[in-house]
Amino acid sequence: MEFSWIYQETESHQVKQFLRTKGVSRGLLAKVKFQGGKIEVNGQIQNAIHYLAFGDQVTITVPDEKGYETTVPVENPIEIVYEDQHLLIVNKPAGVVSIPSQLYPEQTMANRVKGYYCRQNYADQVVHIVTRLDRDTTGLMLFAKHGFAHALMDVLLRENRLTKRYVALVTGSISGSEHQKIELPIGRTPDSIITRMVKPEGKYALTEFWIKNRFPLATLVDIRLHTGRTHQIRVHFAHLGHPLIGDDLYGGSHNQWIKRQALHCQELEFVHPFTQENMHIKAPYPTDIRQWLDAEKELV
């Protein structure tokens, strides 16, 4: 895949210095140099220490990524919400984990996306997960379709320029204002490698939320994550005494519609790192949350 820029500085710098300002890491530049890629300036092959002049066109050709044999492609379908040559955004169903592990070696979203890449015969077949979700959380997952896109999206994540918004049904009626923040540190519980809890020595965590609707037995909330701690939303609301409906790991109860934590990643918002377009991707409510809401509205 080719990427091009015009050098617009009056002071001369080396190609590698210029590429660093465009997000090309040392690792990616090494792949270009040693794994079949190339650097061109005005159509002529050059090396990374070549000095640039104003108006030069710099083009790098990044070698294809053939993929890891450990990520087995599977035939399960994926629901594509958005796709271009750099990014893939899918709507993840409940009950599917994000990445392979000893417990789930194949039936993961990564395996499904790898299968899709193979069926499409894409040149780049490494699965780059930018945002992941818990097994029973539904909604938007973002994949980068090549390593350069992954690196640039990671920058957006680190700088908090990729906004993730969730909707959740939490037990009980949350008191207070319509707009609140939960700023409490999260760490592992002492007797488990799975669960987390609010603890003073934990890592900083910030969850912002807006109350969308109050029902007799639950509250519908719109959530923005500012940090990405494990189980952050589930832990924060459980600590407030309002565990997510269906979240038996943190004290939420099931009902006839919802058998898993009622959490859905509904929106992703960011500036596209290649096109500079303002991206605002949304996914509809999943069936179980929608059915619960419909039933509650009928009772009101």
CA distances from 24 to 28, 124, 140, 228, 234 (A): 6, 18, 27, 25, 36
Report, in this order, helix, strand and coil percent for the chain, each rounded to 5.
20, 30, 50
Set 134, 136, 222, 288: catalytic member = 134
List the Cα angle 192/207/234 in 5-degree steps: 35
3 state DSSP class of 32: helix
Query: Whole-angstrom Cα distance, residue 184 to residue 206?
Result: 7
Strands of 38-41's sheet, edge to edge?
2-6, 57-61, 38-41, 44-45
Rg (CA), the chain: 22
CB 67 within 8 A of CB 125: yes
3 state DSSP class of 215: coil
Which tokens in the block code for residue 137?
């959380």
Q: Can you state the angle between helices 26-34 and 147-158, rounded to 10 degrees?
A: 180
CB 37 within 8 A of CB 31: yes
**How many CA atoms does the CB half-sphere of 216 hold within 13 Å?**
7
Nearest residue to 137 (alpha-carbon basis) of 271, 272, 262: 262
Residue 64 annotated among the catalytic residues of the structure: no
Beta bridge partners of 44: 41
The owner of tokens 């973002």 is 142
Query: Whole-angstrom Cα distance, residue 109 to residue 129?
Result: 9
Residues taking part in catalysis: 134
